[in-house]
């Protein structure tokens, strides 16, 4: 029988109330505990005492605690008083408190059943939680908070062999012990030495609680495990503590028993860790308040010195509006001296409607706390002794001295500022009008600039076309001479009687080949002037070779050799015909410089190579170079060193625009080796 009774689970008395502390329902054990019987319809079965109802309503409103154990005084139906510890728990619905559940904990436990032991552990943990919360409220510093809680957990719980707090290093992979209680026989005892938490470091990294129920069963962290066992510690709980969302420290609990941490008990320590976060926040705020109080005290000591020297008017009144202080700046501002205003209601310094409304406003604030100016500040109107009404900026603050309430108003005459604001507003309007006018002029200038650029492009194209016509003449001169000789030969053979079909066929074939060569030349020049519709990737080697073929005959006629024998080829992104125009402009300038300076062995060199991520084109000549004063102006529009009619001054300007604006590159010029060097960098 004893064995059977010990294995039977004992149900505790349980009751439910709404969030206002009104009884709703209970189990039979609770009804037996208070000696009443609930009605069949479940209504009006019991009425809580007022003190219990008030406590439940306050607990339901408490945003910081969802569970709590407190000592409660019950009144049975016959009128007897029973005192018991009750475990209260909030029940939520749609994120709001819906009901409150109470579990009456046993006073004495004779049975050794798992259920009773479970309630004993829960009761002890939550009573410790209550004591911890009280210590949190009393602590004035973080170290005092940590030291006290370590002692509470060691002395009150009894099952802990070692308890400590450790701060978390910013990288979250090291912790440093700052407070402990118990036998610190194996962990770090120096604030400069990192603490070994073994598997507990996972809680530090993740920010989540970690429980090790049986340290002996660990296969990892062998050295750490053996030190724990040697110290008589067999289970561990690590509970992170957050301050304003940031992990700052951990609560480390080591128990002498295996499987020590029950689910409800673990919840209690999670709650404690959360409360500690709030405690740390309160301590920080308290320290800030302490600094603020000291600053206020110093401010009070300086008040009298400042009061009479400050530029702004300062007026102090009682809750009835009676003036008790009136500084020199106020006397100057309003035209009254202190003896004329002291003891009078401050409303006499106000025009309507402030004059009539002031007493009612002050009364309403004292009754309800509703603020309109106090602690806020705003612009109002004031009245001088001569009746003149003027604008002021008013800031009112409230303070208590010797349990008496006072109000201080700081008043600044803003007449000059208002005048300045009006003048500024007028000037701003004028400036906005000017801006609109400038915008219209800028738009007109931009449109004019665009037209100029279009004109420059057309002129550049026309100049290029003139250049091309000359190149076509050079390209056609040799085949035209050959055709002329062939025609003359046909006439000669015909006159001598030697004209036959074979001869005529051979000469006709040669003439057609020369004509096809001339036609191909026309196609090359026509393609040069055909604009590309979209950007494309193209070969630098191919485009440069085609460009050289366009100007080759012109260079040959002037005995200028051009060298371009690239070992590698590179692709770039842009308009190939525009890039060809750039190369042709540079080659044409080199030709003209060589023609003017007549070096002994005239030559032009072209080279392509790769420098990092850049593709670089180098074009050089031995035409004497460029004068230093001209170099900085070389790429300016309409700048030319050629005789009038021989240069437009827009070729290199357009080249710079194509390379930098259309292809995202850069073009530069400098002197090198007896001539000019043009460097083109492309992405």
Lowest mean pLDDT among 227-231, 449-453, 575-579: 449-453
Q: What does the alpha-carbon distance between residue 268 and residue 262 come to, in Å, rounded to a whole number?
A: 10
For residue 662, the 8-state DSSP code is I
pLDDT at 40 over 50: yes
Give the pLDDT of residue 112: 43
Give the pLDDT of residue 463: 61
pLDDT at 39 over 60: yes
What are the tokens at 88? 């209260």
Q: What does the alpha-carbon distance between residue 101 and residue 23 come to, in Å, rounded to a whole number?
A: 10
Q: What does the alpha-carbon distance between residue 392 and residue 578 come to, in Å, rounded to a whole number?
A: 69
Q: Strand, helix or coil at 504?
A: helix
Cα–Cα separations (whole angstroms), residue 593 to 586, 588, 598, 651: 11, 9, 8, 15
Between 74 and 506, the higher pLDDT residue: 74
Q: What does the alpha-carbon distance between residue 268 and residue 247 come to, in Å, rounded to a whole number?
A: 19
Q: Strand, helix or coil at 623?
A: coil
Over residues 341-357, mean pLDDT:
89
pLDDT at 656 over 60: yes
Give the pLDDT of residue 110: 39
- 334 φ, ψ (degrees, to nearest 5): -95, -20
* CATH number attached to the domain at 10-107: 3.30.450.20
Q: What does the alpha-carbon distance between residue 251 and residue 272 come to, in Å, rounded to a whole number?
A: 9
Assigned CATH topology for domain 532-682: Heat Shock Protein 90 (3.30.565)
Q: What is the 3-state secondary structure (H, E, C) of 14-65?
A: EEEEECCCCEEEECHHHHHHCCCCCCCCCCCCCCCCHHHHHHHHHHHHCCCC
Task: Label residue 537 by pLDDT band (50, 70, 90).
Answer: very high
Give the pLDDT of residue 207: 85
Between 460 and 619, the higher pLDDT residue: 619
pLDDT at 115 over 60: no
- 99 φ, ψ (degrees, to nearest 5): -145, 170
> What residue has token string 């409360």?
275
CATH of 307-413, one of 1.10.3720.10, 3.90.1200.10, 3.30.450.20, 1.10.10.410: 3.30.450.20
- 674 φ, ψ (degrees, to nearest 5): 80, 15
What are the tokens at 401? 């001295």
Residue pair 27/46 in contact by the 8 Å Cβ criterion: no
* CATH number attached to the domain at 123-283: 3.30.450.40
pLDDT at 531 over 70: no
pLDDT at 111 over 70: no
Q: What sign does the CA torsion over 347, 352, 354, 357 have?
A: positive
Strand pairing report for 561-563 and 571-574: unpaired
Structure confidence by residue, pLDDT tens digits, 14-28: 999 999 999 998 888
pLDDT at 294 over 60: yes
CA 45 to chain CA centroid, Å, is 59
Residue 434, H or E segment: helix 415-496
Q: What is the pTM of this model?
A: 0.35
Task: Label residue 447 by pLDDT band (50, 70, 90).
Answer: confident
Q: What does the alpha-carbon distance between residue 360 and residue 597 come to, in Å, rounded to a whole number?
A: 100
Long-range contacts from 486-492, C-beta under 8 angstroms, 24+ separation: 486/510, 486/511, 487/511
How many Cα atoms are found within 13 Å in the side-chain-facing hemisphere of 269?
A: 26
Give the pLDDT of residue 570: 95
Nearest alpha carbon to residue 546 among 527, 574, 571, 569? 527
Give the pLDDT of residue 482: 58
Residue 574, H or E segment: strand 571-574
Lowest mean pLDDT among 250-254, 381-385, 580-584, 663-667: 580-584
Nearest alpha carbon to residue 85 among 126, 47, 137? 126
Structure confidence by residue, pLDDT tens digits, 203-251: 888 888 989 989 998 888 888 888 888 888 999 999 999 988 888 889 9
Task: Label residue 3 by pLDDT band (50, 70, 90).
Answer: very low
Q: How far apart are the first and last CA of the chain?
A: 94
Residue pair 167/248 in contact by the 8 Å Cβ criterion: yes
What are the tokens at 444? 């007109």
Q: What does the alpha-carbon distance between residue 84 and residue 13 come to, in Å, rounded to a whole number?
A: 11
Residue pair 659/678 in contact by the 8 Å Cβ criterion: no
Nearest alpha carbon to residue 149 among 228, 252, 65? 252
| H helices present in 497-632, as ranges | 501-529, 540-557, 576-597, 628-631
Residue pair 531/577 in contact by the 8 Å Cβ criterion: yes
Q: What does the alpha-carbon distance between residue 95 and residue 67 come to, in Å, rounded to a whole number?
A: 16
Q: What's the maximum distance between 2 C-alpha atoms anywhere in the chain?
A: 158
Between 187 and 58, the higher pLDDT residue: 58
Strand pairing report for 96-104 and 14-18: antiparallel
Nearest alpha carbon to residue 617 among 583, 592, 593? 583
Over residues 67-96, mean pLDDT:
83
């Amino acid at each position: 029988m004893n064995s059977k009774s010990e294995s039977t689970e004992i149900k505790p008395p349980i009751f439910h109330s709404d969030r206002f502390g009104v009884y709703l329902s209970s189990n039979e054990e609770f009804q037996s505990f208070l000696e009443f019987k609930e009605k069949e319809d479940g209504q009006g079965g019991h009425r809580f005492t007022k003190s219990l109802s008030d406590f439940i309503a306050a607990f339901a409103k408490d945003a910081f605690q969802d569970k709590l154990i407190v000592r409660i005084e019950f009144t049975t139906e016959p009128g007897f008083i029973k005192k018991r510890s009750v475990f209260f728990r909030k029940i939520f619905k749609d994120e709001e408190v819906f009901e409150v559940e109470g579990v009456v904990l046993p006073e004495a436990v004779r049975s050794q059943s798992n259920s009773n032991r479970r309630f004993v552990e829960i009761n002890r943990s939550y009573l410790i939680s209550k004591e911890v919360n009280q210590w949190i409220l009393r602590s004035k510093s973080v170290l005092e908070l940590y030291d006290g809680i370590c002692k509470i957990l060691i002395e009150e719980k009894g099952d802990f062999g070692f308890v400590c707090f450790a701060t978390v290093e910013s990288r979250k992979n090291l912790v440093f012990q700052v407070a402990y209680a118990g036998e610190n026989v194996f962990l770090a005892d120096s604030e400069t030495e990192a603490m070994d938490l073994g598997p507990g470091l996972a809680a530090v990294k993740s920010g989540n609680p970690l429980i090790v129920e049986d340290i002996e069963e660990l296969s990892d962290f062998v050295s750490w495990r053996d030190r724990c066992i040697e110290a008589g510690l067999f289970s561990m709980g690590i509970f992170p503590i957050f301050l304003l969302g940031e992990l700052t420290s951990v609560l480390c609990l080591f128990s002498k028993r295996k499987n020590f941490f029950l689910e409800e008990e673990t919840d209690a320590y999670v709650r404690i860790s959360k409360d500690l976060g709030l405690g740390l926040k309160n301590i920080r705020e308290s320290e800030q308040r302490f600094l603020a109080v000291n600053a206020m005290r110093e401010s009070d000591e300086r008040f009298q010195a400042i009061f009479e020297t400050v530029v702004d008017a300062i007026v102090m009144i009682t809750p009835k509006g009676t003036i008790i202080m009136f500084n020199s700046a106020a006397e100057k501002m309003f035209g009254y001296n202190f003896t004329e205003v002291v003891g009078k209601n401050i409303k006499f310094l106000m025009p309507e409607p402030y004059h009539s409304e002031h007493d009612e406003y002050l009364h309403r604030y004292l009754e309800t706390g509703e603020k309109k100016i106090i602690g806020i500040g705003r612009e109002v109107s004031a009245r001088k002794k001569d009746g003149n009404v003027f604008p002021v900026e008013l800031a009112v603050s409230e303070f208590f001295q010797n349990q008496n309430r006072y109000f201080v108003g700081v008043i600044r005459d803003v007449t000059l500022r208002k005048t300045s604001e009006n003048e500024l507003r007028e000037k701003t309007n004028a400036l906005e009008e000017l801006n609109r006018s400038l915008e219209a002029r800028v738009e007109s200038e931009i449109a004019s600039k665009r037209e100029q650029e279009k004109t420059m492009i057309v002129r550049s194209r026309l100049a290029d076309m003139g250049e091309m016509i000359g190149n076509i003449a050079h390209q056609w001169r040799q085949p035209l001479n050959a055709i002329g000789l062939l025609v003359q030969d046909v006439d000669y053979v015909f006159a001598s009687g030697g004209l036959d079909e074979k001869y005529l066929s051979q000469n006709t074939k040669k003439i057609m080949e020369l004509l096809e060569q001339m036609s191909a030349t026309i196609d090359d020049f026509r393609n040069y002037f055909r604009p590309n519709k979209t950007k494309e990737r193209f070969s630098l080697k191919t485009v440069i070779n085609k460009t050289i073929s366009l100007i080759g005959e012109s260079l040959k006629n002037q005995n200028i050799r051009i060298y371009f024998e690239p070992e590698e080829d590179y692709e770039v992104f842009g308009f190939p015909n525009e890039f060809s125009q750039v190369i042709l402009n540079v080659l044409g300038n080199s030709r003209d410089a060589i023609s003017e300076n007549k070096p002994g062995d005239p030559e032009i060199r072209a080279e392509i190579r790769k420098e990092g991520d850049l593709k670089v084109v180098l074009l050089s000549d031995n035409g004497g170079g460029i004068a230093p004063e001209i170099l900085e102006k070389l790429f300016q529009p309409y700048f030319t060193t050629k005789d009038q009619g021989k240069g437009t001054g827009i070729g290199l300007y357009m080249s710079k625009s194509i390379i930098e604006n259309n292809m995202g590159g850069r073009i530069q010029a400098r002197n090198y080796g007896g001539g000019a060097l043009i460097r083109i960098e492309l992405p």
